[in-house]
Amino acid sequence: MIRHIVFFTARRPEDVEAIRSGLARLGEIPHASAFEVVANGKVDPMGNDVDVVVYAEFADEVALAAYKAHPIYAETTQRVRPLRELRYSADFRSTLC
């Protein structure tokens, strides 16, 4: 299984919900076996810079590539990019399966 985790920071605090709701549309893409978008709970005493987290699971690299190639992915990127400051992404094969 491939785990896909993306962290976003908002340019302005008032844009956090627009980022979260915009990214939620990615859940309409059919290739993920699990998908969620959440606002960071900001309870870590060492750092709370991240505003929004996208978490998804894919059966394999082919499913992840299909997800990223889907038109909704491009539309969402165009919608969210002007609102975000930073985007950090990690894709890895889970050893927990």
Sign of CA dihedral 49, 52, 55, 61: negative
pLDDT in tens, 38-53: 999 999 888 889 999 9
| pLDDT of 97 | 59
Q: Are 85 and 10 in contact (CB under 8 A)?
A: yes
pTM of the model: 0.92
Domains and CATH numbers, the chain: 2-42+49-93 (3.30.70.100)
Note the pLDDT tens digit of each residue in 74-87: 999 999 999 999 99
Note the pLDDT of residue 36.
98
User: Whole-number mean pLDDT of the chain?
Assistant: 95
Tell me what the mean pLDDT of segment 52-73 comes to: 97
Residue 68 has pLDDT above 90, yes or no: yes
Q: How far is CA 66 from CA 12, 42, 52, 82, in A?
A: 31, 32, 23, 24
